[in-house]
Amino acid sequence: MTTTWVDGFGRTIDYVRISVTDRCDFRCIYCMSEEMTFLPRQRILTLEEIFRCAQLFVANGVKKIRLTGGEPLVRKGIVGLCEKISALPGLRELVMTTNGSQLTRYAKPLAQAGVKRLNISLDTLCPERFRALTRVGDLHQVLAGIDAALEAGFEAVKINSVILNGHNEDEVLRLTEFAVSKGLDISFIEEMPLGHVGRSRARSLFRSDQVRALLEQQYQLLPSSESSGGPARYMHLQDYPQTRIGFISPHSNNFCSTCNRVRLTAEGRLLLCLGNEDDLDMRALLRRHPLDDEPLLEAVKKALKYKPERHNFSADGEVQIVRFMNASGG
Ligand code: SAM
Ligand code: SF4
């Protein structure tokens, strides 16, 4: 008999995002504040603990795992972890979100380790602006990483672009042209108010309908009922069938009713919703019961009954959740 997890609102939970580290080689202005303190090593789940959680999830009906962070490729041993997780019987796909900075080195090993798809973050094609948005990043390194990913044989590579009013909204068409030229999908993400980043999030909010209006100046958008099992709504471009446009719109199009996912943070909190603080301390359970999964399983099942119905991001985009995205597993 196959097991599935169902939450208190009847939603099947078959997707887990695992943050393998809160650390990152970038400091994106929407994700982190300029000065960040990262977790000490002993508070982070070990690779063995992460794998034990993955085993438990997959044995209970989880079909898709996304490894994220922080930047997953700064975690030592990441390729070996991918190999072990992707081999779990019952898992449909292991995927990853990365900033792309290390893909020239890691794209091939990741594909060989069973990672099926990659989401690569890219918010601008202007090198100076890239440096400003990431505070430290090098655009050329990431573009080379995207090319390496395209050569490595993943089933799909997608671009994720967070669009911020006054920072990069004038690049929506250029980023789309880039995706079209490479035959990639691209998703435009509304900024989420996670953590205080030293500026008004309300002022930089650029909504998906505004992105769509810009796209319609150049492209004919066709509706699509496709889903990649995540929060994006997709559209097709009339003349470029190889590129889909995704919209991730926590503000303008609440996606909570179809939410199928939970997140495991780098320190082992099982977050039931990105926009709420309800969680389960998996690290304490893992360390208290090193050889017996039963108490963990019981605790997860009980916690899922309390998964909130929806996130609480305010309409004006200001912060209510003090946890940063890198600590949440975006
Ligand atoms: N470091 C990797 C990366 O940047 O792709 C993975 C982790 S990052 C937290 C995951 C995704 O979350 C990225 O696409 C990033 O652009 C997005 N993100 C980060 N902070 C965000 C925020 N406040 N609102 C919306 N998206 C955010
Ligand atoms: Fe790092 Fe990704 Fe956050 Fe940027 S969005 S600071 S790359 S974790």
pLDDT at 92 over 90: yes
Angle of helix 78-86 relative to helix 103-112, nearest 10 degrees? 20
pLDDT at 109 over 90: yes
- Which amino acid is residue 111, in one-letter code? A
Rounded to an integer, what distance in angstroms lies between the CA atom of residue 63 and that of residue 253? 25
Give the chain's mean pLDDT: 91
- Tell which residue, 204, 191, 188, 212, has the closest CA to residue 274: 191
Q: For the chain, state the CA radius of gyration.
A: 19
Q: Could you tell me which CATH number the domain at 5-328 has?
A: 3.20.20.70
List pLDDT tens digits, range 140-155.
Answer: 999 999 999 999 999 9
Give the tokens for residue 306: 């309390």
pTM of this structure? 0.93
List pLDDT tens digits, range 200-244.
Answer: 777 889 999 999 999 999 999 998 877 767 778 899 999 999 999
Residue nearest to atom 10 of ligand 1 (CA): 330
Task: Measure 157 CA to ligand 1 centroid, in angstroms.
Answer: 16
Task: Measure 32 CA to ligand 2 centroid, in angstroms.
Answer: 7
Task: Measure 24 CA to ligand 1 centroid, in angstroms.
Answer: 11
Domains of the chain by residue range: 5-328
Give the tokens for residue 293: 């999964």
Rounded to an integer, what distance in angstroms lies between the CA atom of residue 85 and that of residue 66? 10
Q: Which residues of 165-201 are buried (b: 16+ CB within 10 A; e: fewer)?
A: eebbeebbeebbbbbbebebbbbbbbbbbbbebeeeb
- Is there an atom of ligand 1 within 6 Å of 188 CB? no
Please report the pLDDT score of residue 253 as a whole number: 60
- Which amino acid is residue 128, in one-letter code? E
Residue nearest to atom 3 of ligand 2 (CA): 31
> What is the average per-residue pLDDT within 78-98?
98
| Nearby residues of 185 by Cβ (< 8 Å), 6 or more positions away | 156, 158, 159, 179, 234, 243, 244, 245, 246
For ligand 2, mutation pick of 17, 23, 25, 27 (most atoms within 8 Å of CB): 27
Query: pLDDT grade, residue 254 (50/70/90)?
Result: low
Give the tokens for residue 178: 């880039």
**What is the arrangement of strands in the sheet containing 279-281, beginning at the earlier edge strand?**
221-223, 233-237, 240-248, 185-190, 156-163, 115-121, 93-98, 64-68, 15-19, 261-264, 269-271, 279-281
